[in-house]
Amino acid sequence: MPLLGASPATQFCTVVVRPRAGQHAETLGPVLTKAVTQLDSDVPIYFPGTPAQFHDQNLSGNRIVVSLFAIFGGVAFVLSAVGLYGVMSFSVTQRTQEFGIRMALGADARRIFRMVMTQGAWQLVIGLVLGGGAAALLLGVLVAAALRNILFKVNALDPSIYLAVAALLTIVAALSCFIPARRATRVDPVTALRYE
């Protein structure tokens, strides 16, 4: 029976060819396509290539989605770092006179530095608790079923993911608070008192 007259379930067949030792599998696709075309030019050939190429082709859509999520995650990470730095820098600028008065009354630079870093740490803890709780609630309850279809062998509530993100944000928060805290320790008490 000709292939064109076959039922739809039997219209497709798979031909697997194993290369000999020394042959490259990538070179067999065009040779086989040419041989089948010479036998019958009406037979269509779908997905010629190696299993690795077929696998890459099947996963290309998922790789695009993963790349987009990675880009969005990177943008969110940069925005959180810039936002925390901006808040801390603004806070230090607003409290310049206070730091100057404290230094004039005897507070040393270490104490001012610790005060600014503690303020940043509190903001970080509040953000991690609220953000982590909201993310766990959203991913665990609302989106878990949808993510199971997209992500293979990934648990939406995996503690290692949350701990890694918290550690990364802690490092960023420490670096974002360090520059404003160091600037606060260099406040000239005389200049700060002049504005009061």
- The confidence score (pLDDT) of residue 62 equals 82
CA dihedral (181, 163, 62, 79) in degrees, to 10, reads: -20
Q: Which two tokens stand for residue 35?
A: 């041989």
Q: Can you tell me the distance from the alpha carbon of 133 to that of 138, in angstroms, rounded to the nearest whole number?
A: 8
Q: Residue 154 and residue 36: Cα distance in Å, rounded? A: 43
Q: What are 56-96's pLDDT values in tens digits?
A: 888 888 889 889 989 998 999 899 888 888 888 888 888 88
| Strand, coil or helix: 167 | helix
Q: Is 88 exposed, middle or buried (0-12, 13-18, 19+ CB in 10 A)?
A: buried
C-beta separation of 176 from 120 below 8 A: yes
Q: How confident is the model at residue 6 (pLDDT cuts 50, 70, 90)?
A: low
Q: What is the pLDDT of residue 1?
A: 47
What's residue 188's pLDDT? Answer: 78
Residue 4: predicted pLDDT: 58
| pLDDT on residue 68 | 94
Give the tokens for residue 77. 């990470």
Give the lowest-confidence range in 76-80, 136-140, 163-167. 136-140
Distance between first and last Cα of the chain: 99
Angle at CA 85, nearest 5°, toward 184 and 67? 160
**pTM of full prediction above 0.75:** no
State which H helix or E strand residue 61 sits in: helix 51-94
- pLDDT of res. 51: 79
Encode 104-134: b = buried (16+ Cβ within 10 Å), e = exposed.
eeebeeeebbebbbebbeebbeebbeeeeee
Contact by Cβ (8 Å): 185, 94: no
What integer pLDDT is reported at residue 75 of this predicted model?
Answer: 95
Amino acid at 144: A
Q: Is the pLDDT of residue 7 over 80?
A: no
Mean pLDDT of 163-173: 88
> What does the pLDDT look like over 26-39, one tens digit per residue?
778 788 888 888 88
